[in-house]
Amino acid sequence: MSVVTQTTDLASFTPAEITGLTSAQVATLTTTQVASLDAEQVAALTPSQTARLSIHQIQAISAGSPVIALPTAVLASLDTAQVAAFTPAQIAVLRPAQVAVLGSAQLASWSPEQIAALDAQAQMTVLTSSQLRALSTEVVAALAPAQIGALSAQQIQALSSAQVAALSSAQVAALTPTQVAALAPAQLSALPTDDIPALGNYWAWSISTVQLQALTTAQVAALTSTQIAELPAGYIGALTTPQINALQPVQIEALSVRRQLPRLGATQVAALSTGTVAALTTTQVAALSTAQFVALQTAQVAALTADQVAILSTAQVMALQTAQVAALTTEQIQALSTTEVTALSTAGMAALTAGQAAALSIDQVVAFTTPQVLALKAKALAAIPPAGRSHGFTAHQLSIMTVNQLQALFFGLGMGNGEIAFTDIVNYRIETTPVAVTVVDLTGDGILDLASTDWNGDNDGFISVLPGNGDGTFGNRALYPAGSDPGTLVGADMDGDGHTDLVVTNQRDGTVSILHNQGDGTLAAPAPIPVGYLPNAATAADLDGDGDGHPDIAAVNTNETLAVRFAGSNFTGGGTYSSDTAARGVAAQDLNHDGHADLITIGNSGTIGIWFNKGDGSFANPIPYPTDGITSRGPSTLVVGDFNKDNQPDIAATRHDSNTVWVLLGKDNGSFRPAVEYGTTAAPNGIVTGDVDNDDTLDLLVGTEAGLQVLRGTGDGTFQAARGFARNQWSQDVAAGDLNNDGWLDAVGGNTGYPIGLTVLLNAHGMAAQHRIVVTNPIPDQSAPEGTTYDSTANRGGTVIGNATFTDLDGQTMTYMATAADGSPLPNWISFAPENGSFLATVPANAPDLSIRVTAQDSAGATASDTFMLSTPATTQTGFAFAAPIGHATMG
C-alpha cells in the first residue's frame, strides 16, 4: 500500500494505486491533492472511498473531465450533503447518465443556482418523475424557461400542483403545446392566475375540454381577450356555469359572433353576470338565438343597455317571457322601436307593469296590435299617461277594448277606500274534494289558470287544470296523473324553459312530483322525487347557495324531517334534517338579507321553525317561535309577506282548532317579534296574502270552513277584524290572483259542500266606476264657409255620425246635448238634434269661428263631453254639407 501524506504528489499514481487507497487515506487528502486528480484517477475511486470525502474535497474535484469521470455508482452513493456541495460548474458538466442516477433526496439538496446549471437539452431531459417531484417549489421557480421547455410530456405530468403553482410567467410562456396538452386538470387549476396570459393565444388548441373545465374562475377571468377569441368553437359550450359567470366584459366582447357565440347553451347564457351581459356588443346581442335570449335571467334582461334593446330582432322580442318583460326598465321600454313593440307577445303585454306602461311613447302605443291591446292589464292601462283625450290610442284600438280596459284607461283604478266586496261567485265542479289550489299561467298567454289536487274519489292521484278565459271564467277541466294522495301544489319554472311547471306532494308515495309544462299548457307525466315518509307540504326555491336561480325543493314530512333536494344533482343531493315536530307547512324566503333563501316551517306542536341557509345549501338547526299551540290542517297553513312595509319578511299562520290567525313581524336580522293573534269566525285552513282593496297594503285571505274571510291590513303590521264572503264550506286551501284582468285581486278556493269543486270569487270593488261614459274617439274640427247651408242627419242607434264615439261603460242608453264651449247656448243660426246628434245651420256672413261642446249622458246621470272647432271661412261656395260630429256612438 502506498504511503500518502498531505504532501504526496498524486499525479504519478496509477488508477490502480488510487483504488488501493484506504478510505481513511482518502479522507486526509487535501483539496489541492483532490484537485490534482485527473479523469482516470477520479474514475478509479470507489464508493467506499468517496463516502469519506468532505464537502470541500467534493468541491475540489476539477469541473472538467474529472467530474465527468465520476462513476455513476459513486455518485449514487454520495450522501445529500456531499451532493449539495457540488458547484454549479461541476453540475454543468455531469453526464446525463450521472444526473439520472442521483436519488430524489440528493437532487432535492441542490439549490436554485445548482439546478439552474443543468443543461436544458442533455441533463434536464433525463430527470425521472421521482427526481422532478423531489425538487422544492423554490428550485422549480428558479428553472430557466429553456429548462422548462425541454421537459417531456411525461416529466411535465410528474410535477406536483404546488410545483406548477410556483412557475413564473416566463416559465409558463416556455411551455410547448405538447407540454400544455400533458398537464393534468389538477395541474392546470394550480397555475397562478397571473401566469394564465403567458400560456399564449393558441394554448386552448392543445388541451381537452376536461382540462378547460378544470380552470378556476379566477383563471378564466385572467384569460386575455385574444385567448378567448382563439378558443375553439366547441370549447365555448364546454365552459361550466361558474366559469361563464367569471367572464369579464372585455372577454365577452371578444367572442366571435359566428363561431363562438352560437355555442353558448341556455344554462351558460343564464350564468353570465349582469355586467357581462351589458358589455355584449350590439352585434353580439343581435346574434343571440331565441333560445339563448329566452334563457336570460330577469336581472340580465334588466342589465341590457338601451342601445342593446334597440337592436333586438322581432324574433327575440317575441320570445321574451313574461318575467323578462316585467324586468325591463323604463329606459329599455322607451328604447323599443315600434317594430319591436309589435313583436311583444300577448303574454308579454299582459306582464307590463304600471311603471313600464307609464314610460310608453305615443308612437309605441299606436303600434299595438289588436291582440296586444286586448292583452293589456288594467293596471298598465291606468298608468299610461294622457296624450290628448285618447291617451294616444287610435280609434280602432279604443273600439276593441273591453269595458274594464276603458274604465282603467280613462278613470284609473282608484286608490282603494278599504271597502271589500266580491261578486260573480261561480262554482266549478271537479267531482272530487279539492285539497290544494293554485293560480298560475300554464298556457303562457298572460291569463291565469286554475290547478288543484284532488282527494278521495275516482280521481285520487290527479291534478285538475282549468284554463282561464281572461274574464274570470274558466274552460273545461283537464286531468293529469300526479301520485298517490296528492297534496301541496306549487307553480314554478323547474327546468328553466320559461314555462310554469307544477310541483306536488304525494303523501302515500313519499314523493314530490314535478309535472313539466310542455310549452302549450299541457303537463308531462310526473317525475317523482323521494323525500321521506308521508310528505305534508313542499316549496320550490333556489336553496343550494349557487345563486343560479334554478328552483330546488324542500319538503316537510310526517316523521319530523325536512328534506331538501337540489336541482343541480337531479334532485338527489341536498340532505335530510331532523325536526322536533311533524311540520304541516313550509315556505322559503331570505329572512336575514344574506342573499340565500331560508326556510320557515310550521308544526303541530305549535311552533314556527326558522331554518337559516348557511350559504352552501345546508341549513342550521331551526330556531323555534312558539305560537301558543298552533294545530293546522291543509297544505297552505303559513304565508310570508311584508305586512308593515319595513322591507322585512313577516309571517302569518292559521290555527284550525281555535279559529285564529297568528302574525309574527320580522326584524332585520331574521328574527321575529312575539306572535299576535287574530280571530276568524270559522276554523281556518289555507291562507294567502295580497292587496285585495288596492290600497298598497297587504291583506290576508283565509279559507275557512265557512268560506272566504279577509283580514284587511292597515299597513303597520296589524289587521282589521275578519270579514266573511261566500258562505259555503271551503276545504283546505285558498289562492288569489287577478282572474278577470281588471286590476283587482280575486280569490278561489276548494268547496267541500254542494257542489264539490272550486269556487271563484271576483273582486267587486270599483264597480261604481263603470257607471261612466268615455269619449273613445275625439270629434275632429270642422269647417263651414260663410253663406253656406249644411244639413246633417244621422241614423238613430249610433251608426255613422261623423267621427266621434261615446262609449257608456255599463251599456246604458245615452242622449246628447250641444252648447258653446263656455256652456252658453248655440247661436241661433245653428241647431242640434239631441235624439241623433245631428246639426243643421246656415252660416251667415262674418260669422265667427265657433267652439262647440257635445255632451253625452246615460240614464244613471253619468256624462262625458268633447269639444271641437267649427271654422267659418269667407267664401262664395254654396251647397256645403256639414257632417255631424258624433259618430260610431255606442248607445246601450
Cα–Cα distance, 112 to 140 (Å, whole number): 8
- Weakest mean pLDDT among 43-52, 144-153, 310-319, 827-836: 827-836
Round to whole Å and give the CA distance between 393 and 481: 46
> How high is the pLDDT of residue 498?
85
Give pLDDT tens digits for 318-364: 988 888 898 899 999 999 999 999 999 998 898 888 888 888 988 99
Percent of residues, the chain, with pLDDT higher than 90? 24
Give, in words, the CATH class of 422-768.
Answer: mainly beta
**Between 729 and 248, residue with greater pLDDT:** 248
DSSP assignment, residue 672?
A: B
Average pLDDT for 238-265: 87
Q: How far is CA 732 from CA 222, 512, 687, 725, 866, in A?
A: 56, 19, 9, 16, 53
Tally of CB atoms within 10 A around 14: 12
689-729 residue pLDDT tens: 998 888 778 999 998 887 788 999 999 999 999 888 765 55
Higher local confidence (pLDDT), 776 or 219: 219
Number of neighbouring beta carbons within 10 Å of residue 534:
17
Residue predicted with more confidence, 823 or 177: 177
Q: Which residues pair with 672 in a beta bridge?
A: 666
Cell of 869: 272647432
Cell of 735: 289562492
Q: Which of 33-37, 666-670, 785-789 has the lowest mean pLDDT?
A: 785-789
**CA–CA gap between residue 192 and residue 15 (Å, rounded):** 53
Give me the pLDDT at residue 402, please: 75
Higher pLDDT, 475 or 790: 475
Question: Cα–Cα distances in Å, from 707 out to 437, 710, 747?
Answer: 14, 10, 11
φ/ψ (deg, to 5) at 31:
-65, -30
pLDDT band, residue 391 (cuts 50/70/90): low
pLDDT at 490: 93
Contact 438, 791 (CB under 8 A): no
Question: So what's the pLDDT on residue 778?
Answer: 60
482 — pLDDT class (breaks 50, 70, 90): confident
Closest listed residue to residue 807, CA positions, set 695, 889, 883: 889
What is the rounded average pLDDT for all residues in the chain?
A: 83
pLDDT band at 796 (very low <50, low <70, confident <90, very high): very low
pLDDT, mean of residues 773-779: 65
* pLDDT at residue 418 is higher than 60: no
Position 730 pLDDT exceeds 90: no
All residues at 6 or more sequence positions from 103 whose CB lies less than 8 Å from its CB, including other chains: 76, 131
Check pLDDT > 90 for residue 639. yes
pLDDT band at 888 (very low <50, low <70, confident <90, very high): very low
Residue whose C-alpha is closest to residue 472's, from 412, 416, 422: 422
What does DSSP say about strands 478-481 and 486-492: parallel, antiparallel, or unpaired?
unpaired
Within 10 angstroms of residue 6's Cβ, the number of other Cβ atoms is: 9
Angle of CA points 476, 481, 487, to nearest 5°: 95
Report how far residue 886's alpha carbon sits from residue 832's, in angstroms, rounded to the nearest whole number.
11
Phi, psi values for residue 322, rounded to 5° = -60, -40
Residue 161 pLDDT > 50: yes
Amino acid at 852: I
Set of cell numbers at residue 305: 343597455
Cell 397571473 belongs to which residue? 194
Count of alpha carbons within 13 angstroms of residue 137, beta-carbon side: 11
More reliable by pLDDT, 789 or 498? 498
CA–CA distance, 178 with 152 (Å, rounded to integer): 8
- Rounded Cα distance between 521 and 445, Å, is 9
Mean pLDDT along residues 611-629 = 85
pLDDT confidence of residue 795 = 32
Beta sheet of 850-858, edge-to-edge order: 782-783, 863-871, 850-858, 814-820
- Name the amino acid, one letter, at 449: D
Higher pLDDT, 773 or 733: 733
DSSP 142-167: HS-HHHHHHS-HHHHHHS-HHHHHT-
- Report pLDDT for 622: 92
Instruction: Tell me the C-alpha to C-alpha distance, in Å, between residue 825 and each of 359, 792, 818, 820, 884.
Output: 41, 19, 8, 6, 18
Q: Which residue has the cell 282603494?
A: 416
Given a contact cutoff of 8 angstroms between Cβ atoms, the answer to whether 666 and 591 are in contact is yes
Fold (topology level) of 771-871: Immunoglobulin-like (2.60.40)
Cell digits for 392? 294616444
pLDDT level of residue 416 (50, 70, 90 thresholds): very low
Q: What is the C-alpha to C-alpha distance for residues 449 and 346, in angstroms, rounded to an integer?
A: 15
Q: How confident is the model at residue 423, as a pLDDT?
A: 64
Three cell numbers written together for 283: 352585434
Maximal CA-CA distance, the chain: 156
Strand ranges (E), 543-590:
552-557, 561-565, 576-578, 583-589
Asked if pLDDT for residue 788 goes beyond 80, the answer is: no
In this predicted structure, the answer to whether residue 251 has a pLDDT above a threshold of 60 is: yes
User: Which pLDDT score, from 0 to 100, does residue 333 have?
Assistant: 92
Chain segment 421-441, per-residue pLDDT in tens? 776 566 777 767 788 899 999
Q: Which residues pair with 368 in a beta bridge?
A: none
- CA-based nearest residue to 747, from 727, 761, 729: 761
From the number of C-beta atoms within 10 Å of its C-beta (0-12, 13-18, 19+), residue 570 rates as exposed
Residue with cell 417531484: 133
Kindly report, residue by residue over 80-105, the tens digit of the pLDDT. 898 888 999 988 888 999 889 998 88
pLDDT tens by residue, 367-386: 999 999 988 887 788 778 76
DSSP tag of 459: T
Cα(704)–Cα(638) distance, integer angstroms: 14
Cis-peptide into 755, omega within 30 deg: yes
The beta strand positions in 612-683, using DSSP E, are: 623-626, 638-641, 650-655, 660-664, 676-679
Identity of the amino acid at 181? A
The domains of the chain are located at: 422-768, 771-871
Residue/partner pairs of 480-484 with CB below 8 Å, 24 or more apart: 480/515, 480/523, 480/526, 481/525, 481/526, 482/453, 482/506, 482/513, 482/515, 482/526, 483/508, 483/509, 483/511, 483/513, 483/526, 483/528, 484/460, 484/508, 484/509
Look up residue 319 and give its three cell numbers.
320570445
User: Within 13 Å and on the Cβ side, how many CA atoms surround 492?
Assistant: 21
* Least-confidence region, from 111-120, 140-149, 619-628: 619-628
Cβ neighbours of residue 3 closer than 8 Å, sequence gap 6 or more: none
- Mean pLDDT within 750-755: 68
- The 10s digit of each residue's pLDDT in 863-878 is 666 667 778 887 644 4
Among 286, 282, 280, 209, smallest CA distance to 250 is for 280
Structure-block grid coordinates of residue 262: 352560437
Q: Within 10 Å of residue 349's Cβ, how many Cβ atoms?
A: 23
Residue 731: what pLDDT? 54
pLDDT of res. 891: 28
Determine what percent of the chain falls in helix, strand and coil, rounding each to the nearest 5. 30, 25, 45
- Which pLDDT band holds residue 635 (cuts at 50, 70, 90)? very low
Of 350-354, 399-403, 881-885, the range with the lowest mean pLDDT is 881-885
User: What's residue 123's pLDDT?
Assistant: 87
Beta strands in 14-143, from DSSP E residues, in sequence order? none
Decide if 726 contacts 708 (C-beta within 8 A): yes
* pLDDT mean over 181-186: 90
d(CA 120, CA 651): 71
List all residues 6 or more positions away from 619 whose beta carbon is below 8 Å from its beta carbon.
562, 564, 577, 598, 599, 611, 612, 613
pLDDT of residue 717: 94
